[in-house]
Structure 1
């Protein structure tokens, strides 16, 4: 069982508690296959596996171990009775007031971050509020990946200065991208442009971290989904990218994408030689985030309002309030992968030209 002890998982199955105080889990307990409600650990089964208990050869945390792997669904258990959904995210009433909400978020975040063991740990640091919370409270080296003129490198340097921390820069190059793309595809089983673009800065950061002697990488993953960090969430119901008619509804909609996203990221990071550490995805943080109403998630133009307010005890105001770009854009990995595709003859007029380029590198 990855991520949690068997007793905790066994009790969560019996009670149906979707947030039993863990950072996620996946694996076997009492001959039953189980994966937590947010899919924080990857798990796969053979697509043609028969009903009933699975032999050890028919499931794995690594899809390359299997002949034809299918993701095991988050929130589900498979036992002799078949595969069934045991956990769904709760829908609690919002906090009564904003002060209570901020206090609860602060307590959950600080307890979760402070509990991280720093032995062998490095931190993926972009200069935004999510990774800065880790940097401010954990004694571990900071790493940022990007091309020399990228937003992430500049933002990470300025935030590191404000926190009085040293920063190690992983300078991306076209050669590194061309080498890493087929390795990412092999590890994740994905060649679509967006998946590879997102994984590139993570993978190349993790490679450097591993080469420097660290085997664990702390990331601020989950904060955007939990706390209203996406523009499409902030603009609900007027953004066609979400179906929800409230910000809180859009929050839950994007949370449903986490199992797929986290599977990609965990597999890429493990292939590069490190184990991800994601304290902002701990159950206690998830529980607090699910009790935020629309205005606690997005207040006017301020996304992640409650998290930013809670972060003020740990961070300078300029860091707590800073906006940042998604890693694939902030690092310029997406732009430069597109440039390489066009240089290789895959022009933008072609349908999905970057994916076609990625597939050519894999071939």
Structure 2
């Protein structure tokens, strides 16, 4: 075929990252291996369209589908061998640790595992003196990560909020504050010359890491609902990353990790009030015990961004309603910076 192969991301077959020639050979022959391809990718080649199982990489075709001229040939759903959780995580991270990648390090167990395994440089963002910046710097020093702290200027937050709101289909204050934090993270990664951020997103959903799980009456159902919400979260974060021409890589959504997690009884996810217990146990293979057991704040709070947005809302006359302030920004009537 004379058409040019356009691929964003990377493709693997049973742990081996494929070259472009190998991808062409498999796709053109409609090989059975297509349905088992792993990785994070969006591929266009003539009339062919392929996208990874979870749709991690944004693309024109539906997630997990191989199409030819608009006709579905097969679904892409890799089924790797079931591995111990530590091995599954290590494999998933190493496959994503290419020279064009940087780790988003907040100091929590999810991102600290990735930084420790990958050996890649790391970055963290936050308002000066914020919890996440202090914690990430401390963790980086312990594990030997080449860490770059990036300060968020509070005066830039409103402009960032204006830029990310159009990317959110139904913007809530929580989504908006997460997107603003991601905005500064992605901008910094792009400015430093990286094409991809390796993120710990998905770990809280897969391993029951949210505080609300402690009060859950049906942990299995609540976790399933949160996992089902991950595509929406990915679209939010990849949309922000796309503003800077980069994308976000997600090792915890690797099928090896997902399958390993599925083997763990749901009541083992929280033990004696400790959330993400299996992940923290696995983390001890890569991290000191105190880092593995540390419980951090959510991204938007730990970075200090939520407080800035709340203060901006109050200054605009919305003392208790950040949503109202966001609505005003979207309508182009905010007094600050417009």
TM-score (norm 1): 0.74
Q: Deviations over 1:289-322 (max 9, x none)?
A: 1222123322121111111111111101111111
Structure-2 change in CA distance of 1:13 and 1:291 (3 Å) = farther
Q: CA RMSD in A?
A: 3.4
Q: What SS does the corresponding residue of 1:302 show, helix, strand or coil? A: coil
Q: Deviations over 1:8-48 (max 9, x none)?
A: 7899997996xx352344566895766555332334xxxxx
CA contact (8 A) 1:206 1:274 kept: yes
Instruction: Name the structure 1 match of 2:110.
Output: 130
Structure-2 change in CA distance of 1:162 and 1:203 (3 Å) = same
Structure-2 change in CA distance of 1:160 and 1:298 (3 Å) = same
Matches of 1:234 and 1:12, distance apart in 2: 47
Residue 218 of structure 1: how far off its partner (Å): 1.4
Correspondent of 1:121 among 90, 95, 101:
101
CA contact (8 A) 2:316 2:325 kept: no
Q: What SS does the corresponding residue of 1:149 show, helix, strand or coil? A: coil
Structure-2 change in CA distance of 1:302 and 1:249 (3 Å) = same
Correspondent of 1:278 among 225, 250, 258:
250
Correspondent of 2:160 among 167, 180, 183:
180
Matches of 1:352 and 1:84, distance apart in 2: 44
For the pair 1:291 / 2:263, whether they are aligned, the reply is yes
Matches of 1:212 and 1:191, distance apart in 2: 29
Aligned counterparts, 1:342-357, within 5 A: 342-348=314-320, 350=321, 352-357=323-328
Q: What SS does the corresponding residue of 2:55 show, helix, strand or coil? A: coil
Instruction: Name the structure 1 match of 2:4.
Output: none
Q: Aligned residues, how many? A: 314
Correspondent of 1:329 among 301, 309, 321:
301
Structure-2 change in CA distance of 1:9 and 1:326 (3 Å) = farther
Instruction: Name the structure 1 match of 2:143.
Output: 163
Q: Deviations over 1:163-186 (max 9, x none)?
A: 233432211122221221222234
Matches of 2:185 and 2:132, distance apart in 1: 13
Matches of 2:314 and 2:73, distance apart in 1: 46
Instruction: Name the structure 1 match of 2:89.
Output: 109
For the pair 1:22 / 2:14, whether they are aligned, the reply is no
Instruction: Name the structure 1 match of 2:132.
Output: 152
Q: What SS does the corresponding residue of 2:87 show, helix, strand or coil? A: helix
Instruction: Name the structure 2 match of 1:320.
Output: 292
CA contact (8 A) 2:38 2:52 kept: no
Residue 146 of structure 1: how far off its partner (Å): 0.9
Q: What SS does the corresponding residue of 2:56 show, helix, strand or coil? A: coil
Matches of 1:74 and 1:258, distance apart in 2: 13
Residue 2 of structure 1: how far off its partner (Å): 4.6
Matches of 2:165 and 2:26, distance apart in 1: 34
Structure-2 change in CA distance of 1:306 and 1:106 (3 Å) = same
Q: What SS does the corresponding residue of 1:122 show, helix, strand or coil? A: strand
Instruction: Name the structure 1 match of 2:203.
Output: 223
Structure-2 change in CA distance of 1:137 and 1:82 (3 Å) = closer
Structure-2 change in CA distance of 1:262 and 1:81 (3 Å) = closer
Q: What SS does the corresponding residue of 2:308 show, helix, strand or coil? A: helix
Matches of 2:215 and 2:280, distance apart in 1: 19
Matches of 2:34 and 2:146, distance apart in 1: 44
Relative contact order, CA 8 A, sep 6+: which one is greater? 1
TM-score (norm 2): 0.79
Matches of 2:30 and 2:294, distance apart in 1: 38
Matches of 2:322 and 2:116, distance apart in 1: 44
Q: What SS does the corresponding residue of 2:243 show, helix, strand or coil? A: helix
Matches of 1:292 and 1:305, distance apart in 2: 11
